[in-house]
Every structure is written in C-alpha cells, then in structure tokens.
Structure 1
Amino acid sequence: MYIGLDLGTSGLKAVLVDAGQAVLAEASAPLTVSRPQSGWSEQDPSAWIAAADAAMAALGARIDLSAVKAIGLSGQMHGATLLDAEDRVLRPCLLWNDTRASQQAAAMDADPRFRAITGNIVFPGFTAPKVAWVQANEPDIAGRIARVLLPKDYLRLHLTGEAVSEMSDAAGTSWLDVGARDWSDALLDETGLDRSAMPGLVEGSEPSGTLRDALAAKWGLPKGVIVAGGGGDNAATAVGLGVVAAGDGFVSLGTSGVLFAACDAFQPDPATAVHTFCHALPGTWHQMGVILAATDALNWLSRVLDRSPAALTAELGAPTAPGPVTFLPYLGGERTPHNDAAIRGAFTGLEHATDAADLTRAVLDGVAFAFRDCLDALAATGTRLDRLIAAGGGSKSDTWVRTIANALDLPIDLPQAGDFGAAFGAARLAMLAAGADVEMTRPAIAAQVAPDDGLRGAYAEAQERYRATYRDLKGSKT
C-alpha cells in the first residue's frame, strides 16, 4: 500500500492506494488562512503538522496501515517557510497568493538573469521575492534565516528529518535553473543566500528519505517507509490524471485556476506570463497559465450574498449567451497573462434589474474568460491543446465546466467518480520511489463536455468585452 499526502491551502488530504492503484481510503483535515493586511496571505506551519496527524489518524482508524511501503508528498507551491539554524520556524509562512512582495519581484525581474535562468517572470507570489521582502521589512527575522523550505518540504522535514525538495516545486521559487534542474548560485546570491540555505534536490519519483521511526509507530506504519520527492500540487495532479506526455493537458478549478500543458522539452517564453516548470517526472517539463481566483471568486460572492456556492449555481441551469454583466476575477491581483499584483476585480454592466443569478453567471463567465486569456498565452508560446481533463472541486459544477468549454472552444473530459488529484498523484510517485511498476493511465471518462457551436460568437464577443473592461480598469489605475 502507498499513501499520498497533499498539503493544500484549505486542507490536507491523505489517500491510501493499493498496488493496483485502487483507492482504499481517504481522509482530510482543514486548514485556515490568515490575511493580516490586504494582499497578505499566511499560515502557521505547525498547523500543517497537526493536519497531517489528524488525517493520518483518521486514515488509520479506517484501515490497517502496517503494509504501507511509501509516502508521496504534494503541496501548495511558492510558500516561504523560514527556519533558523535549529530548524525552528521564524514567522508564519508567506503563501503562494501573498502579493506583498511586488516591488521586490519587479526589482528581480528587471535583472535579465532571472528570466534567462528560470524561464519565468519573477512573480510576487514566488518564493525569492518574499524572502527579499522579509529582508527589507523584518531585518531581525531575516538575520536568523538559515533555511528556506516550501510548505510540503517543511512537512517532509517533520516526517524524515531531511531538508529536501524536488524539481517541480523548486521551479517556482525563482532560484532554480529550470532547464538544468539545479539551484542557480548566481540567483541565490542576489537574495543574499547560498546552497546551504536550500534543500537538496531529487526528482519527484525518487526517494527523499525514510519516515522517522517514532512517527511510523504513532501512525501505525512499519519502519523504513520511503518518502518520495513528490511534486508541487499541479504537477502531482497531472501525474494523478496521467497528464505526462506532450500535448496532454488539464484545467483545474480550485481556489486558484490552472490551465496545464505537459511538455517533453524546456520551452520558456517569460513575456507571456506563462509558467514553465519542471514536471514531477525526470526529463519532463510543463507549462501553466495561472489565475489567482477561480472557486475563490465564487466563494467570495457566496460570502457577500450569504448563500452557498451550490445554491447560487443551482439557479443558473445550462449555459446561455453571456449576459450584460462583466466580472473581472482579480480579487488579489493576477498572474497569467497580466503579471499584475495591484489590479483588483470589478463588476461592470450592473443595472436595476441585476439580480443574484446575473452576478453568479458573471462570476462563472469571468473565471472562464480568464482561462481563455491563459489559453491564448499558451498558444503564443507554441503550445497547443486539443482537449482537456477537468480537475478541482469546481469541476463538479456542470454549468461551470460547460461555460469554460464554451469560452475555450475546447472539449473537456469529466473523469468518472473518484479522486485523481494531487494526493493520488503523490501516491503514484510514492509507488515509483518504492520501485513499483506504475502505468500512468488516464482516468476513465464519464462524459465529454463539448463547446456549444451556437454560442461561439456570443462567447467571442463577451471575451472581447471582458478584455476591454480590463484595459479600461488598468487605464484608470495608471
């Protein structure tokens, strides 16, 4: 048996699979996010340890774990977990959607070496500018930084005692030479760091250490359980979905939104604001268009209207032509294609007759149009996608998936019932690290959602209105 642990933003999920990749049990534990100021997003790393203990206890209560051979880790990317020389946490972790380091990111991005070596823009949410922000604003803490770890790798440190990361997650720090799959000494030096502050690197399918004996006993696991390198959340999701070959892709409707394309070569184009990262398997890479608020945008509207997301979407029925209300989902800035930490969301086209259904439809449309911007950015790099698999909690909304299919003008496959996300992908990587033969099959497809040919013109027109609204909003801020 094998376990996948996925450390997400809102919770930690544990999945147990057998040698045939069948899911035997799963469990989860919730996490909360602190937002001390506008644009800030933090978590206490001790909460990750508590969540892992809770999820594993729940898993062990359902099934005997004494035959587990390996654990794979997945997690939210880009977080800056800062430790002192005794591996004590110095401050709450600055998360992936924390945009306070926009000035530091811009300064780094102005140095042409960062794009040339990493293949990416230095986004405010990446790890390196966050460390630079701490150095500029919290000098007492900065002076004690001895190690910088990504969230899942702090969990790994707790599990194994080893400070190790893997290529897909490390690629989102702005310190990795993504083509060479190694830390860049030149870029580390620009942040006043060196390799001593960085974790070791393995491929996602390689062992990174073994579970501590005391923790194995606590969780009911045998001694010598291997902990695999694992992957960043999106790369692990791709492994779970079998999206590992060039041309394969998925669209993820989670807290953030991702349009993911697997690649068999390193082919960066930073100017598009497309992310070009290592995949979780050796010798492979991937590209992503990333939007910062997907289901997060609907959850925001849910809080404002005091109605559940399910209740809001249930009133909409099948997608129709987009209405007159336009929504820009930039609640905390945006990545692809704008690279704009300061931009904020907006509704336009409101009138006396506008009701909750109109606002909900506009939110679903706005997220779909943001995905279309990502698709066009991927196309500008030369990457083409012919069809996609849906992933993430938002993909359970038939209306939203149909809206996205219409906006992208692409068919979207819906997997049969089951979990093929990041935790499942982490379990697959655990199998590989333990030497098992793993077939990277794609999930059985329950249905394919095709774009509505009769709505193609209406969606194209609404997409242009969406882009014009962004230009107007951006112009009003300059």
Structure 2
Amino acid sequence: MRIDGRDAIQNGKTVLGIELGSTRIKAVLIGEDHLPLAAGSHDWENSYVNHIWTYSLEDIWKGVQISYQKMAAEVKELYGVSLQTIGAIGFSGMMHGYMAFNKDGELLVPFRTWRNNITEQASKVLTELFQYQIPQRWSIAHLYQAILNQEEHIARIHFQTTLAGYIHWKLTGQKVLGVGEASGVFPIDLDSKSYNATMINQFNELIASQDLPWKLEDILPRVLVAGESACVLTEEGAKLLDVTGELKAGIPLCPPEGDAGTGMVATNSVAKRTGNVSAGTSVFAMVVLEKELSKVYTEIDLVTTPTGNLVAMAHSNNCSSDLNAWIGLFDEFAKVMGLDASANQLYGTLFNLALQGDPDCGGLLAYGYLSGEHMTHFEEGRPLFVRSSNSNFNLANFMRVHLFTALGALKIGMDILLKQEGVQLDEILGHGGFFKTEGVGQRIMAAALNVPVSVMETAGEGGAWGIALLASYMINKAEDETLEDYLSQKVFADKVGKTISPQLKDVEGFEAFMSRYVKGLAIEKAAVEHLQ
C-alpha cells in the first residue's frame, strides 16, 4: 500500500478531471505535483438512431459514474483511504453538438453529437451571414438547421448546451461553459472573451420571422475563462457523481471545457506559435495564431484556447476507427489460428510493419470514412480499400496506407495553414491513441505535416489530465499568473518528451499518396451513392 499521496487525498489537496471522449470516459485524480494518483475509465460507443449519431442520457451518466467508481476504488486499493473530498473538479467532453432542454430541464430531442453532418444548409447560410466559418458540427449550426427544418421542439427551447456543459449544469446548477468550449458553440469576440454580440444580433434578425419566444442570448450558457470559478458541487450533484454517497458537496468546479482545449493544455500548447494534434476516433490539429487568417476557409475552424486566444483548427471526423476495425480483423484471424496475441502485440507489430512499406504505400488507396467528412464535403462515409492490378499489395503497405489515410483529410486542412497562410510551427505536440505505439504514429504525422512531432511522457493521460490541470490552475494559481506560465513553470518544467523529425522520403511519399487520395475521392462518392 502506498503512502505517498495519502495525505493529499485525505486533506483534499487533489484535483479530479473527467473527460467524456468519443469511445472512452476517463477520470484522473492528480496530486500536488500534477501527476496522476489514480484513474478509472469506461468504454462506450455512440449509436446511429434514426440517422443521428447519439448517446443516451442513461449511457452518459452510467459512464461518468462507472469511471468515477473505478478511480475511487483504485484510490482505496492503492492508498487505503476513501475519497471523500477533492480540491477541485473539472469536466470536459467532445465539443459541439446539440443538447436542447425545455423549462423543466427535459431533453427535447436526442443528443446530436459532433459526428453528424446534417447541417450543411445552416452551415452555409451562417458562414455567409457572419463571414466566419461555421462548421456543420457547431451547436449554432444544429440549432439553425432545426429551425430551417421547422422541428416542433424549437419553440420550447429554454436552454441549449454541450455535453460538458450539461454534466456541469447537473452537478452545480450553473449554466456555463469555458471559452474554448463556447467557441465551438458560437463565434467568440476576442476582446470580451464572450459570444460575438454583433453576430448574436445578426442571428436574432435572421430568425425574427419565426416569432420564437426566445432570443439566442437567452438560451446559451454564460462564458467563463480559465482560472475563473464555475460554482461548486451541490448535494444532488455529489450523489449523482458518486452513487456510494461518500463524496462531499461544496467542491469547486472549473469551467467545463471541450476536448480541443484540454488537448492544448495536456500538451502545453496554449501559447502563440504552438500547436498540438489529437488523433484518435477523430483527428484535429490546433495552432495558436499570432494573427487572424487572411480569409474565411471552409476547411478551417476558428476556436480559442481556454484563455480566449485565437486558434485555427483543422478537424477531420474520421481517423482511427477503420484502422482499429482492421486490427480487430487480424485479431480474429489470430484467434482462429490458435494464436494468443494481446492488443498491444497486434498494434505494435502491425504499426511497426508499416514503417517497412513503400514511401507512397505502393500505390494502395484507402478511405476510413466511417461517417461523413466535412473536410472533403461528404455527408456520409463508406470505409474503402482500393488497389489497382499493378499496386504493390503486401501487409506492410496495407498497414501504411491505413495509417496514411487516417491523416488524409487532416492534411488537406493543415496544408492551407502551413502552405497557403504561411503559419510557422517549430514543432507540433501529439497525443491520443494514434501515438500509442512508440515512434510510429509520430513518424507518420511528421511525414504528413512536414513538421517535427513531439510526444510528452504525459501525453497518454490525455484530456482528462488536461481538464484536471485547468481545475488545478483555478485553485492554485498565483495572483495574475497566466495559464501559459502556470503550465510551463509548474507543470511541464521537468517533463521530457521524444521528438521525431520528418524524413524526406516519408514526406515525398505522403505527398504522392495525397495526390492519389484527392483523385480517388470520386470513388468514395460513388460508394456513398451506391452502397447502403
């Protein structure tokens, strides 16, 4: 039984971060040194119901409670004490999407996640109106599309929020969002660090003819920046989070943030000229800008750091899902052959084999479009593997092409930033499952972006650790201490990482693959039209 950390646990000197990702909910309890003391997680999957990607409220709370229970059980097992109080708590979730509630707090329609590409009409109208890129997955696009569709529930909306905002609301009673999360709901004014008032008025004028009983500012959560208090855990909230009843109320919570913001924090990428890439079910790269872009790009989203600085985001809906499915097929084959290979062995062996493939994947082509892909303008997706009769079809190239294509849509967006806009990056910090096999994901990412890619030792902790750091900043920061300084001087000062620089043959190979990828989009389009 460990004694280090026990005093911190008993005296409430810990901080808890919980993030609801696309495939996993994770709870991480950190100590005064910002390192994890205990963790718990719960795997879950979205459902495709009535042409909507969604998670039920029951599954949301079940997942949060299980991940918390597993973390608390690990505390008891490792330290011999029960978790009854915590210094601060933070919640994070997958950004965007649509959760609308009536005046009684009832969900009006099933939760529409970021994964739904069903708001193209609204996205185009709002982008033109605001002269500001409004992606399909943004909350305001979902709201306006529902209005355009004349959905019955619109007149009964009392409150609209995101997944992280919903959890926070139920645990504290406060309808708030961190500015980074809010920037994926509606455009942010960089001076006020809140919703852009001019665009709020434009939206209200746009829907005035609908004669709705609310204005947009009435139904959106209040915006807070990192370091501000976002109220405390209520008695009801404590019981909802910890079903055993041991956790006490009154614990302060930081503003709820999105997975983009927590990814920036977890990789110390919140300062200008820094960037990070999160690669898992989806993949997105975040670059903190020194100045605004020269024009509006439909492929580039503009969001903010948790402190309200402007960030360019290149986001792809699809990254590792199809790749994971192929690994699952190889796992099934291994079992049929009587081989007992662990998941780590399978991923490690097959990923490393990809490094032995031809630079351009031997002429192979694949699309991992499990769902639609806004970067290449697909409302639906069909995973595909394609080869010609003269392709070099072997296992190394097969694995390499699936690693390459996982980053294909992302590269289209990043080329706009790095090649067209001339954005400068000394390196980019990576985190997420794509980088779990040491060295492989980094090398492929470095080839795709032609930028050195670093992975911190702590990168595997991910967004749950990132939101825990934001909660820690809220209660432990010195007066006037910025988040950038807090992270650099108190969290990452002694953290080491591994950097991989791009290799010329890999960069050239990826460019050759991308030429094939762009030309082959017509094949993907045909698959969507003809394969159900």
1:241 alignment counterpart: 267
Deviation of the 1:28 alpha carbon:
1.2
The gaps in structure 1 that reach 5 residues or longer are none
Give the fraction of aligned pairs with identical amino acids, expressed as a percent: 20
CA contact (8 A) 2:431 2:460 kept: no
Which of these residues, 318, 331, 340, is aligned with residue 355 of structure 2? Answer: 318
Structure index of larger Rg: 2
- Relative to 1, partners in 2 of residues 1:214 and 1:84: Cα closer, same or farther, differing over 3 Å? closer
TM-score (norm 2): 0.80
2:19 alignment counterpart: 6
1:202 is the counterpart of 2:224: yes
SS of equivalent residue, structure 1 residue 228: coil
Structure 1 stretch 94-103 or stretch 210-219: which is displaced more?
Answer: 210-219
CA contact (8 A) 1:230 1:280 kept: no
State how far apart, in whole Å, the 2-side matches of 1:473 and 1:163 are. Answer: 42
Q: Residues 14-72 of structure 1: CA distance to partner in whole angstroms, max 9, x if unpaired?
A: 1111122121111112322111255x311113322222222222222222433411111
Which of these residues, 201, 207, 210, is aligned with residue 186 of structure 1? Answer: 201
Q: Residues 155-197 of structure 1: CA distance to partner in whole angstroms, max 9, x if unpaired?
A: 0011101111121111112454466432342254245542221
2:7 alignment counterpart: none
State how far apart, in whole Å, the 1-side matches of 2:217 and 2:505 are. Answer: 56
- Relative to 1, partners in 2 of residues 1:127 and 1:246: Cα closer, same or farther, differing over 3 Å? same
Q: Residues 82-104 of structure 1: CA distance to partner in whole angstroms, max 9, x if unpaired?
A: 11101111222000011122233
CA contact (8 A) 2:432 2:459 kept: no
- Relative to 1, partners in 2 of residues 1:266 and 1:231: Cα closer, same or farther, differing over 3 Å? farther
Which of these residues, 434, 437, 440, is aligned with residue 487 of structure 2? Answer: 440
CA contact (8 A) 1:2 1:17 kept: yes
Q: Which amino acid aligns with 1:262?
A: V
Structure 1 stretch 190-199 or stretch 438-447: which is displaced more?
Answer: 438-447
Which of these residues, 21, 38, 42, is aligned with residue 25 of structure 1? Answer: 38
SS of equivalent residue, structure 2 residue 284: strand
State how far apart, in whole Å, the 1-side matches of 2:60 and 2:365 are. Answer: 38
1:46 is the counterpart of 2:58: yes
- Relative to 1, partners in 2 of residues 1:60 and 1:139: Cα closer, same or farther, differing over 3 Å? same
2:456 alignment counterpart: 415
State how far apart, in whole Å, the 1-side matches of 2:252 and 2:288 are. Answer: 27
The gaps in structure 2 that reach 5 residues or longer are 1-13, 76-81, 334-342
1:424 alignment counterpart: 465
Matched ranges for 1:253-292 at <5 A:
253-263=279-289, 267=293, 269-271=295-297, 273-281=299-307, 283-292=308-317
SS of equivalent residue, structure 1 residue 434: helix
Q: Which amino acid aligns with 2:286?
A: F
Deviation of the 1:278 alpha carbon:
1.5
Which of these residues, 86, 89, 104, is aligned with residue 107 of structure 2? Answer: 89
1:373 is the counterpart of 2:386: no
1:341 alignment counterpart: 379
Q: Between Structure 1 and Structure 2, how many residues are aligned?
A: 469
2:441 alignment counterpart: 400
Q: Residues 200-235 of structure 1: CA distance to partner in whole angstroms, max 9, x if unpaired?
A: 111133111110124436453343211111321011
CA contact (8 A) 2:432 2:460 kept: no
Q: Which amino acid aligns with 2:45?
A: T
- Relative to 1, partners in 2 of residues 1:304 and 1:124: Cα closer, same or farther, differing over 3 Å? farther
State how far apart, in whole Å, the 2-side matches of 1:112 and 1:161 are. Answer: 34
TM-score (norm 1): 0.88
Q: Which amino acid aligns with 2:42?
A: A
